[in-house]
Structure 1
Amino acid sequence: MGFTQTEFLILAIIPKVSAVLSTAGSVWILVEVFTDRKKVTNVYHRLLTAMSIYDILESSWNFASNWALPVGTPNTWYTFGTQATCTAQGFFLQFGVGIPIYNGCLALYYLLIVRYGIRDERMKKWIEPSMHLFAFVVAFGTAIAGVPLDLYNPDDVPMCWIKNNPIGCTETWQSTPENPANCVRGDNSSLYRFAFYLSWVWGSIFSAIVATVLLYLTVRGLEKKTTRYTNPSRSSIRAGWSKNKDTEQPSSNFVSLEQQGTDRSESSEGYTQGSSTSGRQASSLVQSVRATLRKMVSRGEQDRNENPRSRQVFNQAVWYIAAFFLTHIFACIQQVIFFAGGTPPFWMIAIHMFCDPGQGFYNFLVYRRPRYIYIRNKNPELSRFQCLRLALRWSFRGPVDVTTGRDRKVTTINDAVADQEYDSFHDCDDDYQDKFDSEEESPPEEEQAPRNIEPTNSGRFG
C-alpha cells in the first residue's frame, strides 16, 4: 500500500499524539494506585495496573512510529532505524496483545463480583494469578516467537510489526508451482498475524460481550426483584401489610386474627384449656406472619440499596469495554477488508492509527468518570469543566473545597465522612467486598437462637 509523502507524515504523526496521551493516562493510573495502600491490595486496581504497564510499553514504541523503520525503506520518509530497531518495535507492539486480554479479564472480574459474589480474597488465591499468568504467557510467548521467525518488518503503515518482506511477496501457504514463495523475511506472516494477534483480540471482544450481557441480565433481574418488593400496591395485596414512614402496622385481616386470639383467651373465667391452646396457636401464627412480613420488607430494602451499587458497577464495566472497542474496532474492520482482498480508505487507516495507541488515555477517562460524577452530583451549580478540573486535581492534591478552589484538609469528622462517601462511590467493587465481609461476620438468620414468646393475658396478643 503506497502513500504520498503527506499521507505518510499524517500517519506517522497521529500515533505520536495518541501515544503521549495514552502514556500519560497510564502513568496517572499507576501513580494513583501505588500511592494508595488500599488500592494496591485490590484485585480491580491490580488488573488495571498491569494493563497500564503493558500500555506504557506499547505506547512508547507507538510514539517512535516511523523513526524505528530501517533507513532506506521504500516509500518512507524521516526514518532513522535499523532492522534491530524495527524488530524491537515489532516485539513490543506484539507484546501489547496482553492489553485486550486484560480487558477480557476485567470484564470477567466485574461479572464474578456482581453475578457470582466472589470476594477479593478468593480471587487473590488463584483467579487473579491465573489472569496475570495467562496474559503474560500469551503476550511474551507470541512476541518472542516472532523474533526467530523474522516476522517483524516494515508494515503498510509507518510501523514495524508482523509483515512479510518485501511487502506483497508470495507466502508459502499461498504459493503454487507457477508462483513459488519468494518472501525474504516474514514468510506466512498473514497467518501468524491472525494466530498471534487477531484471534486473541477477537476472542477478548467476544468474551467481553458475553460477560457484559450476563452482567446486564444480573442487574436487570435485581432491578425487577427490587420493584417487586418495593411496589406498594403489590406488597399490600400479597402480604396484607401496610407500611408507612414511621411505623409498620398489620392490615385489618391480621388485626382481626389477633383480636380473635385475644377474645378467646379473655372470654370468661371458665374458659377451657382447649380455647387457651387455640388462642396461643393463633398468637404464634400472628407472630410468624409478622416475622415473615418484616423479612420481606427488609429484603426489599436490601435489594433497593444493592440495586444502585450494581448499576454503578455495570455502568463502569460498560465504559471500560467501550474504551476497548474504540481501540480495536477500526483495526478489526481494516483486517476484514484486507482478508476480502480490498483496500481500506485512507480516513479509516488514519482513525485506526489514532485510536489504536490510545487505550491508556481512554482507561484513564473511564477511571476518572466516577470521581467526576460524584463532584457534579454534589455540586450541580458548577460547570462541567470545573467539575473535571476538580476531579483531576483530587488525584495528587487531595480533596478540594469547591467554594474556594483551595485544597481542603481533612480535619473534621464531616470532611472524613465526605471522603469516605466518595471512596464508597468510586470503588464500587470495594462496596461489594465490604458487603460480603459483613455477611460472613454476622451469623445467618437460621443460626440465631429463636426467641420464645409466651402469650400473656396482659399483652396485646392475649
Structure 2
Amino acid sequence: MANSTTTMAPTAMLRSDHISNLSDTQEKVLSLLPFLPALLSFLGSSQIIYMVISQRQWQTPYRRILLGLSCSDLMASAQFPLQAFLLPQQTSQRVWAIGTDATCSALGVAQQLTFVSAWYNGMLSIFFVMTVRWGVPDRIFAQHYEPVMHVISIGFPLITAIVGAVMGWYREISVGMGCWISKWPEGCGCNEGETGECCQSQLVAWIVGGLPSLLTFTLILCNNLLVFCHVYTTIQRGRQNATTRQIIVQASTQQQTQPKRSFSLRRSVAPSSEDPQLKRIRAVATQAFLYVGAYLITYVPAMAVRIMESRDYDAEDEDEIFPLLVLQSLTFPTQGILNLLVYVRPTYLRVRKDFALESKWWAFRRAMYGDRVVPRHRQGGNQRQTRRHTQFGIGQSSTTSNRGALSFLRRSTAGKNATPQQQQPEPSTTPAAPATTTTTTVTQQQHEPHDSSSIGEFAADYDESIQHDDGHNDDFPVDGDVATCNTGSQPDASMQGGATGNEVSDRSWDQKASRKGKVEAARPNVDKDRVEPLTIADRHDGAESFLDEGDDSAAKHEGY
C-alpha cells in the first residue's frame, strides 16, 4: 500500500471534498448516456459538411459559418463520450477510468476547442441580424466582417487551448466527468488543511471559457431580439399597407356596374395582400430562432454545471445535482444533429408540399440528397413547374404540374379560332398609359426582389410554398369554364351554315371575354378613333393576363 501511495503525485491524494458520493451505477449511467446523442450529432455534422463541400456550396457567408460550426461540433461529438474513460486511472475515482495524465491533458485541449462552436453560434446570430435587420449584402459581409469572425471564432479557443496544455491547466474536474482547467497551479489550495498558494484555476476558467460563453450567450439573445422586433414591425406594416390597398380597390370596384367583375377583382387582389418578401423575412427569422433554440438546448445545462462548480460545488455534492448531470450528458453532444434538422427544414417543408404522397422519412432524405432520391408514388396533377431548391443550391427545372393546363387550354383554343390578323395584331397608335402603369405596379409588387442577396439565398427553399400562396390566381377556370372553353372550339350551326372565319373568331372572342368578365372588351365594329378610358378592373385584367402567362417568369424570381 505504501508503494502505491508513493507512486502517486502529491495532488493525487483524494481529499474528502474530492470523493464523489455517486454510486457505481450512477457513474456508469453518466458514462454511457452520451454515446447515442454523440453518434447522432457526429452523423449530423458530417452530413452538413458533406452537403456543403460536395456540391461546392461554400460561396456564401451563411454556409461558410455553418461549415465552421459543423466542424467544431464534429470534434466535440467525437471526444465527449470518451471523457469518462480517458481519466487518469491512478488518480481518478471514476469506475471506468483507464487513461493517463497525458490523455487527461488531451481531453482538456479538446474541451477548450469546443468553445469554437459557441463562438460560431454568436457569429451566426450576427450574420442574421446584419442581413435581416440592416440588409447587408453577402458581398459586403464577406469582405468586411466575415474574416474577422473566423479569426476570432477559431483563433481564441485554439490559442488558449495550446497555452493551457503548455502551462499545465488541465486536470480532472470536480463536478462531472472530464478534464479541463482545475487545481492550477499544481499543489495549490487555500482551504482549511491545505498548503500552498491559492488556486488560480477558477479565474483562468472564467477568462478563457466563462466570459466568452456569457458574451456569446448575451450576443445571441440580443441579436435575435432585434431580428424579432424587426420582423414583427415589418409584418405589421405590410398588413396595414395590404389592408389599405384592398379598401381602395374595393371602393373603386363598387363604382362598376358588373358585380361579377368586382368580385373577381377582390378575389384576385387578396392573394397578393401580403408581400412575398414579408414571408421570406419571416422565414429567415424563424430559421435564426431555431438555431438559437439548438444552442440553448446544447449549452445551458453544461453552463449551469460549470457555474455551480465555480460556486463551491464539488464531487461530494454530485448526488444533489445528479438530474442536471444526466441532462448535460444527453444535451451537450447533440448540437450537430439539431443543426442538421434546422438546416434541412426549409427544403423538407417544400418537399412535403410538392410530394404529399411520400413519407416523412422519404421527404427528409430528399431534402438532404436532392434528386438522387426518386419519388415512389405518382403525385398526380398537383405538382408545379419549379426550380429544384435543395441545400445543394438551385438546380434544373423539376416536375411540372397541371396547374397551368387550363390556362394553356384557353390560350390554345383562342389560337385555333383566331385569324392571322388576330394572331398578329397591328400595334395600336393610341397609348394606353393607365393600363401599362397599373400592370407594372402589380407585377413589381409580386416579384420585386430584396436588396440583400442573403435573404434571397437563404430563403430560396421557402419560395415554393410562397408561390403556392401568392402565385395562385382565383380566376383560373373551374369545371364549368372548361366546358365553355371546349364548346368555344367546336363549330356551331352558324359555322356550318357558311359563317366566315371573322365571324367565328368574333364569337370565340366574345365567349372568352364573357367567361373572364370582360364585358367591356373591344369588338371588331368599335370606332377605333374613339378611345375609352380603362377602368381599374380592366387594368387588373391586364395584370391578371400577365400572371396567367407568367408561370415561367415566376420561377425565374425564385432564386434571386
TM-score, with structure 1 as normaliser: 0.71
2:245 maps to 1:235: yes
Counterpart in 1 of 2:306? 335
Q: How does 1:409-424 map to 2 (within 5 A)?
A: 417-420=386-389
Q: Structure 1 stretches of 5 or more lacking a match?
A: 244-248, 253-296, 407-413, 437-456
2:91 and 2:301 map into 1 onto residues whose CA distance is 26
How far off is 1:373 after superposition? 1.9
Residue matched to 1:387 = 360
Question: SS where residue 85 of structure 2 aligns?
Answer: helix
* Candidates 322, 330, 352, aligned match of 1:376: 352
- Tell me whether 1:191 sits opposite 2:216 in the alignment: no
Q: Compute the displacement of 1:182 (Å).
A: 5.6
**Is the CA contact (8 Å cut-off) linking 1:14 and 1:354 kept in structure 2?**
yes
Of the candidates 193, 196, 199, which is equivalent to residue 181 of structure 1? 196
Letter in 1 for 2:115: V
- 1:11-410 matches, cutoff 5 A: 11-37=30-56, 39-156=57-174, 157-164=176-183, 171=189, 180-181=195-196, 187-231=199-243, 234-235=244-245, 240-242=248-250, 304-342=275-313, 343=317, 344-382=320-358, 386-396=359-369, 398-404=371-377
Q: How many angstroms does 1:117 deviate by? A: 0.9
Inter-partner Cα distance in structure 2 for 1:420 and 1:350: 40
Distance in 1 (alpha carbons) for counterparts of 2:345 and 2:360: 11
Judge conservation of contact 1:399–1:419 (CA < 8 Å) in 2.
Answer: no
Instruction: Rate the CA distance shift 1:435–1:460 in 2: closer, same or farther, 3 A.
Output: farther
Distance 1:434 1:75 in 2: 53
Query: Quick one: which amino acid aligns to residue 74 of structure 1?
Result: S
What do you get for the CA RMSD once the two structures are aligned?
3.6
Q: Which position in structure 2 is the counterpart of 1:446? A: none
Larger Rg: 2
Contact 1:65/1:159 (CA < 8 Å) preserved in 2? yes
Deviation for aligned residue 1:154: 1.2
Matched-pair contact (CA < 8 Å) for 1:105–1:131: yes
Deviations for 1:303-361, whole angstroms, at most 9, x for unmatched residues? 61111111110111111100000111112222343344454510111111221122112
Does the 8 A contact of 1:215 with 1:314 survive in 2?
A: yes
Distance 2:54 2:279 in 1: 29
Q: Return closer, same or farther for 1:121/1:84 CA change in 2, 3 Å cut-off.
A: same
Q: Do the aligned partners of 2:116 and 2:154 also contact (CA within 8 Å) in 1?
A: yes
Q: Structure 1 residues 415 and 303, CA, compared in 2 at 3 Å: closer, same or farther? A: closer
Deviation of 1:150 (Å): 1.4
Structure 1 pair 251/180, CA: closer, same or farther in 2 (3 Å)? farther
How far has the Cα of 1:394 moved from its partner? Answer: 4.4
Q: Secondary structure at the residue paired with 1:398?
A: helix
Check whether the contact 1:22–1:59 (CA below 8 A) recurs between aligned residues. Answer: yes
Q: Deviations over 1:129-183 (max 9, x none)?
A: 111011112111221121233111112322111111799x754xx579x865367
Q: Secondary structure at the match of 1:419?
A: strand
Q: 1:416–1:69: structure 2 CA closer, same or farther, 3 Å change rule?
A: farther
* Other-structure match for 1:267: none
Pairwise CA distance, 1:83: 1.2
Distance change (3 Å), C-alpha of 1:127 and 1:301: farther
Question: Does the CA contact (< 8 Å) of 1:225 and 1:303 recur in 2?
Answer: no
Residues 92 and 302 (structure 1), Cα distance of their counterparts in 2 relative to 1, 3 Å cut: farther
Tell me the SS of whatever aligns to 1:66.
coil
* Deviation for aligned residue 1:102: 0.5
Q: Once the 2 structures are TM-superposed, how far is the Cα of residue 404 of structure 1 from its aligned partner?
A: 3.3
Q: 1:64 to 1:208 in 2, by over 3 A?
A: same
Judging changes above 3 Å, is the alpha-carbon distance between structure 1 residues 164 and 416 closer, same or farther for their aligned structure 2 residues?
A: farther
Contact 1:175/1:181, CA 8 A, preserved across alignment: no
Contact 2:104–2:171 (CA under 8 A) maintained in structure 1: yes
Change beyond 3 A, Cα 1:80–1:308: same
Q: 2:84·2:97 contact (CA, 8 Å) conserved in 1?
A: yes
SS at match of 1:333: helix
Helix, strand or coil: the match of 2:135? Answer: coil
Q: For 1:388-437, what per-residue CA distance to the aligned partner results, in whole angstroms no more than 9, with x for missing partners?
A: 3431254246354444399xxxxxxx887251488579xx996625699x
Change (3 A) 1:333 1:102: same
